[in-house]
Structure formats: structure tokens, C-alpha cells
Amino acid sequence: MSIRVLLADDQAMIRGGLRLILEDQPDIEVVAEAADGADAIRLARRLRPDVCLIDIRMPGKDGIEVTRAIAGPGVPDPLRVVIVTTFDLDEYVYGALQAGAVGFVLKGASPALLAEAVRAADAGDALISPQITLRLLRQLARVKGPVSGPPGPPLSEREIEVVQAIARGRTNTEIAAGLFISLSTVKSHLASIQSKLGVRNRVEIAAWAWETGRIQAARD
């Protein structure tokens, strides 16, 4: 089965380029295009694509508003959103992730990275352009500082190792290889960690790790 993708960008040339890149992949199919935020929301809700690639700046509703409407907190059965933009600004990245996005890729990224982001989102993973990931999470940690208050929920030693790997931007496959465990075991640990922390996805797990200083000893 192909991964069904919705493209939302106000520039027809950009949408065309993204379509060419994605449809060159044997396992990805672009099922619709939207030129503004309102149309993106309408098409996403009607077609229920596997992954939505959403631009940040669009007429009417911007990419963060679109993401919040189709993937945000409180949305039943949220869709998987990857933000694709030319703007490498931390406030955009953080706003998109808080709104429910599971990935953030710059338009200057390679075709391989774009396709990888789509596949990661479809698999329940998350991918942020490497030049953004650690800088963003470290900045969040510096701004917020270590979270005070009662200790966090008890995580097992293995779960802490998984959290540390996620906070470094590792994929499920890389975590499995690095810890010498199966992919299904990684996914089980992720589900347990999300439940214990009360977070929605691996990006929020990574943010929690940096904000609470849980990976201080593991920083590069």
C-alpha cells in the first residue's frame, strides 16, 4: 500500500516540485494539493491522508493553525503532519511541534530526507531536519532550565536509554540497532514512555528529556 500524502503550499511551483520528488518514490502517492490553509483543513478531514506536508506561511490560516486543527491536542484521531518550510526559525519549529506536528523539514533538504520524513511520519516516527533538532532542543532546555518539583514518573533503565536516544534524534531503527533490541520492543518502550509522561509523540519525549535535564550527561 502506498503512503497517501496531502501537499499544502501556496506556491504552485513548490507543490509541483514536491509532488515530483514524492511520486518518484515507489511507496508514496500524492492524493491532493491545497493552496491555502482552509483548503488544507477541508481536504485533510475529507480524504484522511496518511501524511500531510504543510507549509508554514499560507494565506488565511497558516501552517501552525492548520496543524492544530487536524493534529492538535483534543483532536480525535489526529492526522500526521510534517511541516515543510524555507524558514529555519525556532519559534516556527516549536510552535508547529506544540500544535501537533511530528516532523519539520526545510525545503532545501535533499529529496531523500523529504521521503524519509514522510515514511517516518507514516510509521509513527518523527523526523526533524538534523540541523534543527539538537539546536532547538538545547535552546528549549536553556530557556526553561531544569524543571523543578516532584520527580518525574518512574522510567525503567531501558526506557531511559530509549529516551536518551530519542533526544539525540535517533529513529526507531537506529535505537533498535544501538540497544540490540527488536523494532517491536522499541515501539513497546515508546508506548510505555508516552503513557508515563503523558505526551503524544517522540518529539515531546525529546523535549521533556532536554527540559528536565534527564540527558545532561549524554549531551554532545
Residue 138 maps to a domain:
no
Task: Tell me, yes or no, whether 57 lies in a domain.
Answer: yes
Q: Are residues 85 and 154 in the same domain?
A: no
The grid cell for 72 is: 492538535
- Per-residue pLDDT tens digits for 145-189: 444 444 556 899 999 999 988 877 677 778 899 999 998 999 899
Which SS3 state, helix, strand or coil, does residue 28 take? Answer: strand
pLDDT value of residue 218: 41
> pLDDT tens digits, residue range 18-40?
999 999 999 999 999 999 999 99
CA–CA dist 181, 185 (Å, integer): 6
Let me know if residue 79 belongs to a domain.
Answer: yes
| Phi, psi angle pair for 147, to nearest 5° | -75, 125
At 142, is the pLDDT very low, low, confident or very high (cuts 50, 70, 90)?
A: low
Q: Where is 36: in which H helix or E strand?
A: none
Tally of domains within the chain: 2
Can you list the alpha helix ranges (DSSP code H) found in 37-182?
37-47, 63-71, 90-99, 111-122, 130-144, 157-167, 172-179
CATH code where residue 186 lies: 1.10.10.10
Are both 116 and 18 inside the same structural domain?
A: yes
pTM, two decimal places: 0.69
Residues 81 and 154 in one domain: no
Domain span at residue 42?
3-128
* pLDDT score at 136: 58
Q: Are 22 and 115 in contact (CB under 8 A)?
A: yes
Question: Taking all residues of the chain, what is their mean pLDDT, rounded to a whole number?
Answer: 82
Is 149 found in the same domain as 107? no
CB-CB contact of 176 with 183 (8 Å): yes
Q: Please identify, among 128, 158, 186, the residue that sits at the C-terminal boundary of a domain.
A: 128
Of the residues 128, 152, 183, the one at which a domain ends: 128
* Residue 87, CB-side half-sphere exposure with 13 Å CA sphere: 15
pLDDT at 215: 61
Residue 95 lies in a domain: yes
Share of the chain above pLDDT 90, in %: 40
Report which of residues 106 and 67 the model is more confident about: 67
